[in-house]
């Protein structure tokens, strides 16, 4: 008889717990904003980064000295002077140097770009390839490192393909 009561008590307890979960969902402690709605704060991502790109195809960096030119980017928390087309959120200034892909004006170390936070911990950095299209670095910010993929977006067809991957480490 006691065994039957114990089984019945466990069944009732299980049913009660299941009912509680349906009527009052438990919210995680801490930030009440769902992960899909959180974005990287511009000041958290701002800084100078050393890029380590791994390009799987396409242009290779050219150097007359035999050394590969440095790749780097600077992300600012200032609003973008020339926003990138197609981004739906606030955009910020960036300067990027990705040998074989960027074209810096005379006297400058990098090409102007725009960056914006994406859902969760992600950022997108986009720069123009002239009339040919754009290149996007899409990555996740973890501490002082951004890791992600390099994508080409065709200006003619709008089609995209992955060029490679990158790691960006904040140096200041």
Exposed / middle / buried, residue 4 (Cβ in 10 Å: 0-12, 13-18, 19+): exposed
CB atoms within 10 A of CB 90: 12
Instruction: Say how far apart CA 78 and CA 42 lie, in whole Å.
Output: 8
Mean pLDDT estimate for the chain = 79
Q: Which residues contact 163 (CB under 8 A, 6 or more apart)?
A: 55, 56, 57, 58, 135, 150, 151, 152
Q: Is 18 helix (H, G, I), strand (E, B) or coil?
A: helix
Find where tokens 């009440």 sit: 32
| Residue 65 in this model has a pLDDT that exceeds 60 | no
pLDDT of residue 82: 83
Q: What count of Cα atoms within 13 Å lies in the side-chain half-sphere of residue 67?
A: 4
Under the banding of pLDDT at 50, 70 and 90, the label for residue 114 is very high
| Beta strands in the chain, from DSSP E residues, in sequence order | 47-55, 72-79, 92-97, 111-117, 122-128, 133-142, 145-154, 160-170
Instruction: Report helix, strand or coil for 3.
Output: helix
Whether pTM > 0.85 for this model: the answer is: no
Please give the Cα distance from 12 to 30 (Å, whole number). 32
Architecture of domain 42-170: Beta Barrel (2.40)
Higher pLDDT, 43 or 67: 43
**Residue 87 — pLDDT band, cuts 50, 70, 90?**
confident
Query: Taking residues 114-125, what's their average pLDDT?
Result: 93
Q: Where are the domains of the chain?
A: 42-170
């Amino acid at each position: 008889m006691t065994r039957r009561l114990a089984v019945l008590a466990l069944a009732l307890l299980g049913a009660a717990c299941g009912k509680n979960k349906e009527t009052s969902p438990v919210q995680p402690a801490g930030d009440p904003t769902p992960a899909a709605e959180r974005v990287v704060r511009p000041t958290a991502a701002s800084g100078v980064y050393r890029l380590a790109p791994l390009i799987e195809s396409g242009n290779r960096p050219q150097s007359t000295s035999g050394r590969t030119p440095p790749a780097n980017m600077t992300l600012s928390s200032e609003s973008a002077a020339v926003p990138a087309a197609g981004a739906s959120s606030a955009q910020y200034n960036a300067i990027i140097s990705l040998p074989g892909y960027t074209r810096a004006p005379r006297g400058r170390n990098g090409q102007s770009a725009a960056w914006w936070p994406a859902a969760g911990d992600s950022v997108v950095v986009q720069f123009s390839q002239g009339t040919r299209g754009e290149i996007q670095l899409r990555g996740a910010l973890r501490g002082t490192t951004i890791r992600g993929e390099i994508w080409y977006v065709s200006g003619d067809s709008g089609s995209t393909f992955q060029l490679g991957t990158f790691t960006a480490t904040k140096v200041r």
